[in-house]
Amino acid sequence: MAFGLGLAAMAAEPQAQPAPGQLERGRYLVEIVGHCANCHASRGPDGAPLPGRGLAGGWVIEEGPMRAVVPNITPDRETGIGNWTEAQIIRAIREGKRPDGSNIGWPMPIDFYSRISDADVAAMAAYLRTVPPVRNAVQGRSTYPFPVPAHPAVANVPPPADNPVARGAYLAGPIAHCLDCHSGRGPDMRLIPGREGAQGLSFTGPWGTVVARNLTPSTTTGIGNWTLAQFTRALREEIGADGRPLMPPMGRGRVWAAMTDQDIADLFAYFRSLPPLD
Ligand code: HEC
Ligand code: HEC
């Protein structure tokens, strides 16, 4: 196998120094493309993320009978994950399993994260251990009206480097979970196979109600007539095709301004390769 650090290597050498470029890759995945802060940031009374507390947790997300309290994932030993090993952090992200054996629940997108490659999840875990610890004891625990499902480990193969559509699919799914919001779901909130990229979730806030738009190449309701420049503007500048600023959770303080040209082009190639759906 030609790719990065495997899990076996991680477990055998927990004290190993990060490989060159590993922390930079981890930072890019956690802070930029994956933007874990979209959920894991501490927020002020107006709902705005607090500076310097992007991973310190405490936000409460409610949907019907579900109430998720987002944890502090900075390396503070008492209120964060400072006592977790890299292998334990990796297992939490990909399999949704905490060191105490409990399962991590909605809306942590484990369905998508389970397919993050070995090298990328190792980079994320290594980076998470280097961020400044923030002391923030989150209040209360998540409550779900059903047992929180387990996510067994799956094969974690990075996309082939010479295939933009496959690389874009990897970014849109496992890394940035665009498909989490931008896909069709049934009444039970499960993703409907074959409706990837078709219009998805709606979000209501002080900004009104916005709907995650159809990203398939339909020329009427999707991005069939879009140029790469328009798609880039939506991600980097958070301006929609109609010139309107995009609202949360898509509007996220322009963190994706730092996404690489190649990653944006790969995402565009992937969404344009989907069957057009209305
Ligand atoms: C859509 C919201 C969302 C996103 C995005 C998200 N998380 Fe989470 N995460 C959660 C919630 C909610 C929980 C707790 C669920 C529960 O209580 O069972 C959680 C739990 C965790 C835990 C377990 C911590 C603990 O103390 O139990 C880790 C580790 C974690 N997330 C890491 C990440 C990383 C790394 C990313 C980015 C790659 C990320 N999360 C992105 C919502 C999110
Ligand atoms: C947490 C949910 C969420 C995630 C994750 C998400 N989006 Fe969105 N997206 C939305 C919502 C909601 C809107 C509509 C915002 C509005 O109308 O103001 C939107 C709008 C858009 C638009 C529309 C611009 C327009 O002109 O209408 C594009 C393009 C887009 N998203 C691409 C992406 C890509 C690519 C990703 C992954 C890198 C992604 N989104 C991840 C929720 C999400």
pLDDT in tens, 18-54: 788 999 999 999 999 999 999 999 999 888 999 999 9
Give me ligand 2 centre to Cα 79, in Å: 32
If phi > 0 it is left, if psi is from -120 to 50 it is alpha, else beta; for residue 118 that is: alpha
Task: Please say if the pLDDT value at position 63 is more than 90.
Answer: no
- Average pLDDT score over residue span 120-131: 97
Mutation probe of ligand 1 site: the residue of 29, 38, 39, 72 with most atoms within 8 A of C-beta: 39
Report the pLDDT value the prediction gives residue 16, as an integer from 0 to 100.
Answer: 62
CB atoms within 10 A of CB 2: 5
- Average pLDDT score over residue span 88-93: 98
- Average pLDDT score over residue span 181-206: 85
Mean pLDDT of the chain: 91
Report the pLDDT value the prediction gives residue 64, as an integer from 0 to 100.
Answer: 87
Can you tell me which atom of ligand 2 is nearest the CA of 249? 1
Instruction: Copy the structure tokens of residue 129.
Output: 């251990």
Task: Please say if the pLDDT value at position 11 is more than 60.
Answer: no
Cβ of 264 closer than 6 Å to ligand 2, yes or no, is: no
Report the pLDDT value the prediction gives residue 4, as an integer from 0 to 100.
Answer: 40
- Average pLDDT score over residue span 119-143: 97
**Preceding amide of 107 cis, omega within 30:** yes
Cβ of 75 closer than 6 Å to ligand 1, yes or no, is: no
Amino acid occupying residue 51: P
Closest ligand by atom to 105 CA:
1
Per-residue confidence at 12, pLDDT binned at 50, 70, 90? very low
Report the pLDDT value the prediction gives residue 132, as an integer from 0 to 100.
Answer: 97
- Average pLDDT score over residue span 219-225: 94
Domains and CATH numbers, the chain: 14-128 (1.10.760), 164-273 (1.10.760)
Task: Please say if the pLDDT value at position 275 is more than 90.
Answer: yes
Q: Please indicate whether residue 275 or residue 17 has the higher confidence score (pLDDT).
A: 275
Residues forming a β-bridge with 62:
67
Cβ of 106 closer than 6 Å to ligand 2, yes or no, is: no
Cβ of 250 closer than 6 Å to ligand 2, yes or no, is: yes
Whole-model pTM? 0.93
